[in-house]
Every structure is written in structure tokens, then in C-alpha cells.
Amino acid sequence: MLGFSKRSQKKVSKSPLETFDQYEQGRPTHQNAIDALQGWNCAFPPEFGLNAGKLPLYADDRIDWAMRTFGSIEGKTVLEVGPLEGMHTHMLNGQRPARIDAIEANRLCFLRCLVSKQILNIDTATFMLGDIQAWLTEREDVYDFTLASGVLYHMAEPGEFLRLLSKRSNAVFIWTHFVLEDAMPEGDVRWLPFSGKVETRLIDDIPVRYYERSYHHANANASFCGGMKDRHFWMHRDDILLLLRAFGFDDITIRDENLSHPGGPSFSLLARKAPGDT
């Protein structure tokens, strides 16, 4: 006798025919993979007939403009910072670069990128999970083109990111929010997420302003796609341009500046180094 009692015998399953929750019982489809992950922000191209998020970033005119302004990326090396769910990656992939390194720090976003890669056949990209600043610090690659859409204003060290990026890329597209006091007068509701603290940081001995901001627990939602830390900083518009020029991006083209954006003033820009500075 091993001493087992009726009390110690636990019922493992209600029925031997019961299927475990972690298994998909339906017909294999791409929709099953999408439904397995919560929090989708982006839609898939309509011809796929799939239900995910709402944002049509697979046809983002900001990325179209970036590639038309930069020129062909065919055969070139591309770095994508914060691919979100892979829809901008899909657009880049269609231009047939030699390689896309897509770095995502959000675990759920990274997994959604892998689903998008499978569905959309994004075959020139490698998605990797981790901190872009560590990637830029440890690598020696110099990319022909970098896409950093919707990431700068989420960072705890945005100026340092620009400094590191300047060592690893010859051109960069940025879409970002920024601070511009003239566009956000006192009492503007867009100031509400800010703490009111403004720090001056030295980035390669260049003083830049950091405006402290909080997500106010938005990160509790599965669809959250902000930064890694609650305490993050927006930069002043002028300081962004100042740093880019100081770090060798001599040719800067600004597009679709929107000072009335409900999330805060924003713009797109393409910044390039002059030939010979690479």
C-alpha cells in the first residue's frame, strides 16, 4: 500500500473527450493565428479577408512618401525600429531590399509581427525582440535606410537614440510627436499627460529639452504599443532638428507637419547624410 487516500485523488478532467484550452479545434486558417493573440491594432490588406485591428498601415502614405523621397531601397539594407505588427515592414518588403532588421521591444507586438510575416510572406525581414538602443550600441552595421515611425516620442532617452542611430544609418525616416509651446498654449488638453517637469540633457555636449510624460496605466491594455517605461520624454521640435544636423544629417525634408494633431504636434521627416559623410 502506498498510502493514497480518496481525499488525495484529484479529478484531472471532466471528461476523457475534453479538449485542452490551448489547442485550436477549428479548420486551420490564418484567422486562427490572428485570434490567438489579443490586442491587434492594424488591419490586414482587404484582399486577405481577415479580421484584426482597424489601422490600415499596410497602405500608409507616410511610408510611400519616405520611399519615393529616399529613392529605391532595392538591394539595400534597412533597419526598422518598432515594427508594431509588421504592416510597414510589408510595405518595405515589397520594394525588395537586401535585408530588413526589424527590432521590436513589445513582446505581444513581436508575436503579432511573426503572424504578419507568415500571412504576408515578408521574406526579406528578420524580426527580433529586444531593445533598439542595445542593438545600435553592440552592432557595427551601417544601414542604408532606417524607418522609425511612431517611436521617438515613446522613448526614455530619445536624444541618445538619435545619437546612436546616426552612427548606424545613412538616412532615416521619422514620424513623431513633439513639443512646440506656440502650438500648445496653456490649458491645451494635450498637456494633460505631461507632468510639467522639463529637464535639460546634454547629448554630445548639446543641450536639449526633455518634457516628462506618463502613460497613466494605458500599458494595462493588450493593444498598448507605447514605450518600455512609464516615464518617457517628448523632445522639442527645434531640438530634434538640431541633433539630427549636429549628427551629420545635412539634408532634412519635412512633410505633413500637423500642429493640431489631437495627440500633440507631429511631423514626418527624411534626414540624409551628405555623400562622403557615410
Q: 136-140, 223-227, 257-261: lowest mean pLDDT where?
A: 223-227
The pLDDT assigned to 4 comes to 46
| Cβ density class 32-57: b for 16+ within 10 Å, e for less | ebbeebebbbbbbeeeeebebbeeeb
The stretch 241-259 carries a mean pLDDT of: 97
Partners of residue 267 on adjacent β-strands: 176
The pLDDT assigned to 128 comes to 98
Percent of the chain with pLDDT over 70: 88
Residue ranges per structural domain of the chain: 64-178+189-272
Cβ(85)–Cβ(116) below 8 Å? yes
- The answer to whether the Cα torsion of 67, 71, 73, 76 is positive or negative is negative
Is the pLDDT score of 6 beyond 60?
Answer: no
- Among 177, 179, 183, 182, smallest CA distance to 196 is for 179
Is the pLDDT score of 8 beyond 60?
Answer: no
SS3 195: strand
146-164 pLDDT per residue, tens:
999 999 999 999 999 999 9
User: Mean pLDDT, the chain, as a whole number?
Assistant: 91
SS3 189: helix
CA Rg value for the chain: 22
pTM above 0.85, yes or no: yes
The stretch 50-78 carries a mean pLDDT of: 97
First-last CA distance in the chain = 79
157-215 pLDDT per residue, tens:
999 999 999 999 999 999 999 999 999 999 999 999 999 999 999 999 999 999 999 87
What is 64-178+189-272's CATH number, 3.40.50.300, 3.40.50.150, 3.40.50.800, 3.40.50.20? 3.40.50.150
Q: Tell which wins on pLDDT, 156 or 5.
A: 156
Q: 32-36, 206-210, 212-216, 244-248: lowest mean pLDDT where?
A: 212-216
Please give the Cα distance from 132 to 105 (Å, whole number). 7
The pLDDT assigned to 1 comes to 44
The pLDDT assigned to 115 comes to 98
